[in-house]
Structure 1
Amino acid sequence: MYCLLPAFSRINECKVVSICGKNSKRMTNFCKKFNVKQYTNW
């Protein structure tokens, strides 16, 4: 999963609007790095 976010973010016409995964520091860092919003009330 962590390799997909950087891969898709390199495509100009592609915008990652959501990602699902375990709430972890690593996930938080990836979301911040690739500007993916985090929601706590799905």
Structure 2
Amino acid sequence: GFKKVMLPYYKNWDFEDRGVEGIEMIKVRSLRQALDVVRS
């Protein structure tokens, strides 16, 4: 599902350096990136 689709985006950021807030931001950012990919 979601995580499998987003895995390439997640790999661009390092989880270890971020807390829960950082992970939430990653989710938002990767969602936006995915939407941009879909649009173009």
TM-score greater than 0.5 by the shorter chain:
no
More helix, by proportion = 2
- TM-score band (shorter)? 0.3 to 0.5
The TM-score, its normalising length taken from structure 1, stands at 0.32
Which protein, 1 or 2, shows the higher relative CO under an 8 Å CA cutoff with sep ≥ 6?
Answer: 2
